[in-house]
Structure 1
Amino acid sequence: MLQADFRQERLKKIVEALKKQAQQIDQQLSERIEHWFDVHLFSCDSNKALDYVLEVERNLNRLPQLSGNAQHYLAQQLSLQIEALVVALRPGVIDKKQTDKRLTTAATLASQHQRLAQYHEYERRLQQNLLDAQQLPSSPQQILHCQQRLNRCQQAIMQLEERIRQQEEGAEVNRR
């Protein structure tokens, strides 16, 4: 429990730093940026960076109240949100075109990481289905069907991981 409290406090400090950065960016930008992040990443839709940080703060405060899968899902969501905000709010001179491109890249990557986590959850369930089919008196057709679904899921995971890797390499080149 002590370690969880330490992590919670550390995350709160990160959120506070992001809040300050967001306030500075909101003050510096003469033109407001629409659609900061992918709609699956944040529930808010605002043209101010601070609103997204405040959503993260609310989610962080909700985390200890949840348990089990709900807590795990929210923790994953928080991780993706914080990662996207750190990339989007990186200190430096704010150039609208660079900011828009950076935000789009961060949102896309975060969305793809979220989809990858979802695919891994599907894979886990499909592996369990296959195991159940193999242990129970099932027809060979049913076992084959479970194996084929698992293979397609694993193929989708490999393709998505490759797309993420390529995008991350492209983002790294653009930062230099």
Structure 2
Amino acid sequence: MAASDVPSWDDLVEQIRRVWDGRLAPIRPELVHPRVSDRTGRFLTAVGLPTVDVRDIGFVHDERLLSIFSRAGRDYLIVTAEPDYRYGVDLESDGVICLYDRYPADDTLANSSIAAFVLTLGLFHTHLFEGNAGTQASVADAVDTIWDQLDRWDPAAVNDHAGHWSTLLDEYAMEYDD
């Protein structure tokens, strides 16, 4: 994909708002850790995080955003709270990493930015989980839509077929395959 083919940040934010349809809450500036990048901080305070859970993924909207999680010499701003894993913004790269409690060696890039991460979970929530009857055709359509959208908005998230979202999408597709 050529640089001119990459959608703008403003277009990405507009798409996120469209996908989440009013279910985002901006984070109060005093709750955003001062070490996050300007881009991440602006996204959190201007756009925000979803107000609904995506399956078992609950978003952090409180003073926990003032804490930094460190592992293997890297620092992360944790933006979700799950029992066995969490998603955190890498303060050096701005990428969102899936961090596993039991298997830290399996930590993996989920998305290239907090904005792309919020969009991705919105796509899963809207196309795959919310109101989905779970038929083979509906799941196949949802998986195809999510693949296409990720390829457009965050190609790094799906360019590795063994990557985080690629693996998850493949699992959903296989679950409903003949």
Using structure 2 for the length normalisation, give the TM-score: 0.30
Greater RCO, 1 or 2 (C-alpha within 8 Å, sep 6+):
1
The structure that has the greater radius of gyration is 1
Using structure 1 for the length normalisation, give the TM-score: 0.30
Higher relative helix content = 1
